[in-house]
């Protein structure tokens, strides 16, 4: 893909999701070869094959709350709503997961612990084992791991100087 095509894709994404893509434009301008490798990675960050839509987005939103200062979380809220996740479920995730149904609360807590590099409570581990098979656990791991890539790049580039609270919009 050419630099111009990448820029067009970034502009389209930015416009659609009302998300500032300047850090990725700068990445592209500074290192076209590096950006191409990053662009090849991007589909992995959206991969969902074995997880239900709800489990995927609860995992992604939980992990994003650990990794991000707000803007990427806002983006993922928009994407979850666009994917068909109900607003009350998204709102429950943003409020720490306590109002989620029990099975999704376990997913939220597990994804948060994985994203935070914390030890997993053995009882939670048992409930997750009962809920997810090996393929689903791998996919959840990919979901959680890739959530931190974008905010990490932004921080390294100086686009996120300090964490700030943002209003979470529920308009997709």
- In angstroms, the CA 31 to CA 25 distance is 10
pLDDT band at 167 (very low <50, low <70, confident <90, very high): low
Query: For position 68, what pLDDT does the model report?
Result: 77
What percent of the chain stands above pLDDT 90?
85
pLDDT, tens digit, 9 for 90 and up, residues 114-127: 999 999 999 999 99
Q: How far apart are the first and last CA of the chain?
A: 29
Please count the helices (runs of H) and the strands (runs of E) in the chain. 10, 0
pLDDT band at 169 (very low <50, low <70, confident <90, very high): low
Task: Report which DSSP code applies to 144.
Answer: H
Return the sign of the alpha-carbon dihedral for residues 45, 50, 56, 60. negative
pLDDT, tens digit, 9 for 90 and up, residues 95-117: 999 999 999 999 999 999 999 99
pLDDT, tens digit, 9 for 90 and up, residues 8-66: 999 999 999 999 999 999 999 999 999 999 999 999 999 999 999 999 999 999 999 99
- In angstroms, the CA 60 to CA 62 distance is 5
**Structure pTM?**
0.91
């Amino acid at each position: 893909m050419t630099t111009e095509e990448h820029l067009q894709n970034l502009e389209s994404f930015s416009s659609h999701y009302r998300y500032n893509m300047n850090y990725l434009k700068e990445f592209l301008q500074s290192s076209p070869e590096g950006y191409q490798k990053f662009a090849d990675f991007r589909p992995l960050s959206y991969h969902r094959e074995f997880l239900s839509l709800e489990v995927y987005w609860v995992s992604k939103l939980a992990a994003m709350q650990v990794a991000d200062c707000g803007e990427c979380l806002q983006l993922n809220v928009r994407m979850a709503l666009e994917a068909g996740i109900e607003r009350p479920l998204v709102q429950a995730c943003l409020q720490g997961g306590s109002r989620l149904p029990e099975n999704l609360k376990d997913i939220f807590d597990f994804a948060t612990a994985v994203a935070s590099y914390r030890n997993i409570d053995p009882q939670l581990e048992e409930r997750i084992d009962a809920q997810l098979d090996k393929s689903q656990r791998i996919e959840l791991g990919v979901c959680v791991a890739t959530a931190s890539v974008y905010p990490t790049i932004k921080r390294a580039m100086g686009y996120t100087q300090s964490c700030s609270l943002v209003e979470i919009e529920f308009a997709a």
